Structure 1
């Protein structure tokens, strides 16, 4: 994909971002939940939720095991931590508490630090069930949330309306999903992503790899493409990432894609019209917000990784990347005080 096509797509991603305005109240610029955080994995939900906060979300909730919650609270007072995923509680007890929390969120990220224990997998399944019933609730799935999808694909099927679900599998997770859905994973990579998305009823997938491939299994809308003759089913993010892979980099991706999905969904609903940012007139854009959010977050995350690598080299750790979220956001999307009009002019 050429640089002009990339710049055009990033100009569309810019449109997801609400202007900074004193007329917005706390929470309107993104309320993100992260469901994960088992006993052995307290770092992943922190990186996902703090990545979301640094990207621009107003509020981030971490929903986790009690033991993990006690630890995560020591990482940052900025996070709202709910240690309700208690193995001593019944699924119905947790369902009631979880429903109360999720009713206040725009997007739920399911998977960072979730683990594969029976009770955590069951609680995650409840989160999927609740999300399907909540109008405009978006879901991002990573790590052991994908393990649940692999074992029970029904959790992402039968979504009402346009699926507001984004999966972020790495190479092995993608391979296992293909095998579960009886897709020949030896086929060309650029055909696999749309085929897997179709098999899962057109969820959006970020197929992470040397380049990231994004697809929902449908033809890419003409509004996304510079050439009217193009007939493609994938967007490919060829922005170079860093040369060291650190555990937690994918968690920052899940947080940033969650924020873009929240902003885009609220934009379509008209939540930002009163601050001079009316909803899109194009149905092609309105119906493909997850696709734009996925492409934008992929580009962002790969750039964060490269800046971390350039600064730290082999010593790079995920904590370094969290600190780069703000600077890289401004590099790609401009300063916070920029208006949508200024952002459009800068990207034309």
Structure 2
């Protein structure tokens, strides 16, 4: 049975979700970009972008190498594909294109299928630099985007105002990030995530594992805690997931996590800005909630993704692949967050 703390967090996350309304125009319920898709990896950006679309985003852009773009376009006509990361072009020309695309987005996901070539890593670095200068643009970092953070941690640091960055490392990626930041990865797991978050400028981190641990390195404000108090025995600077995942770990599950994380951060950020007030969904009055949208988005996406993994495994067992999970996104969304509010 879910704890009061879990129920409280889900109730807060549900308040971030915009209603379905004829008064909202296309794009207001989430414009998500995925920067990745190298010549070798076309599946990951597709799963991230399509996962975001199935979750409820209005528009999803994939920014990739031309060869990957040609393949991704055959997967689905629902995605807007920009094959602008051409190695034969100058980085200045690519930067101009990226600046134009990023200006249209609520959230940019950096990493799915990015690869580790010097060219693609340089493109990702430029995207980080541009994102810092675009007010309200959120960033989710996964896969080889985390490789860049490992080698150049400054890309996620010194964010203007409240950091709008969420990192979603797996066990090995988390370990390498700790080693880069001179944090002993063998220390108490409940202390590692907040320590790493502090070292990376209070970015929000989803430490994926047997249970997900989420932290931005700061003490969790009372507004995010059931009864205003931390759960007994838990650190005051972490949220720990309570949902079981499936027993098969298949490549691509993390891409669906990045997509759903991006959508929840987009919805939460637009809610805080008052973008849904005209449809009877006013922004939060509690400053602590408004300043912790990345933390809530990360917890909500973790809960959703682990539920999707569990339901997929129950249905498919060892034969489960990520495509099965994409098809289940709608049903799992309803299970976790309920039916949409219609106004």
Give the TM-score normalised by the residue count of structure 1.
Answer: 0.96
Distance, in Å, in 2 between the alignment partners of 1:8 and 1:229 is 12
- Cα distance in 1 for residues equivalent to 2:305 and 2:228: 29
* Structure 1 counterpart of 2:7: 7
**Any idea what SS the aligned residue of 2:146 has?**
helix
User: Which residue in the other structure is 2:140 paired with?
Assistant: 140
- Secondary structure of the 1:187 match is coil
1:226 Cα deviation from its structure 2 partner: 1.6
Do residues 188 (structure 1) and 188 (structure 2) align?
Answer: yes
2:279 is matched with 275
CA shift, 1:337, in A, is 4.1
Equivalences for residues 74-113 of structure 1 within 5 A: 74-113=74-113
Residue 202 in structure 1 maps to residue 202 in structure 2? yes
State the secondary structure of the residue aligned to 1:86: coil
- SS of corresponding position for 1:94: helix
Q: 2:259 matched to which residue of 1?
A: 255
The question of whether the paired residues in 1 share the 8 Å contact of 2:2 and 2:242 is answered with no
Q: Aligned pair 1:305/2:309, yes or no?
A: yes
Structure 2 match to 1:54: 54
CA distance in 2, matches of 1:166, 1:307: 25
Question: What SS class does the counterpart of residue 34 from structure 1 fall into?
Answer: strand
Instruction: Describe the SS at the equivalent of 2:228.
Output: coil
Would you say 1:70 and 2:86 are equivalent positions?
no
Instruction: Return the offset for 1:292.
Output: 0.1
> Which moved further from structure 2: 144-153 or 226-235?
226-235
- TM-aligned CA deviation for residue 335 of structure 1: 1.7
1:122-167: CA deviation from partner (whole Å, max 9, x where unpaired): 0000100000000000000000000000000010011000000000
* CA displacement at 1:338 relative to structure 2: 5.0
- Kindly indicate whether the alpha-carbon contact (under 8 Å) linking 2:21 and 2:342 is maintained by their aligned counterparts in 1: no
Structure 1 consecutive aligned stretches of length 4 or more whose deviation exceeds 2 Å: 227-231, 336-339
How far apart are the structure 2 equivalents of 1:227 and 1:102?
40
Q: How big is the shift at 1:229?
A: 4.2
TM-score (norm 2): 0.97
Matches of 1:265 and 1:330 in 2, distance apart? Answer: 22
User: In the TM superposition, what is the alpha-carbon distance from 1:238 to its structure 2 partner?
Assistant: 2.0
Measure, in 2, the Cα distance between the counterparts of 1:271 and 1:227: 29
- Name the structure 1 match of 2:149: 149
Deviations 1:84-117 (A, max 9, x none): 0000011101000010011000000000000000
The alpha-carbon deviation at position 334 of structure 1 amounts to 1.4
Q: What are structure 1's unaligned runs of at least 5 residues?
A: 340-348
Deviation at 1:227, TM superposition (A): 3.6
Match of 1:342 in 2: none
Residues 265 and 165 from structure 1, CA distance in 2 versus in 1: closer, same or farther, beyond 3 angstroms? same
> SS state of the match for residue 140, structure 2?
strand
**In structure 2, how many angstroms separate the alpha carbons of the residues matched to 1:229 and 1:248?**
36
229-238 vs 52-61, which moves further: 229-238
SS in structure 2 at match of 1:61: strand
Closer, same or farther in 2 for the Cα pair 1:179/1:66, shift >3 Å?
same
Q: Deviation digits for residues 33-59 of structure 1, max 9, x if unmatched?
A: 000000110000000000000000000
RMSD of the alignment, in Å? 1.1
- SS in structure 2 at match of 1:129: helix
Partner of 1:290: 294
For 2:189 and 2:183, locate their aligned partners in 1 and report how far apart those are by CA, in whole Å: 12
2:243 aligns to what? Answer: 239
Aligned partners of 1:119 and 1:105: how far apart in 2?
23
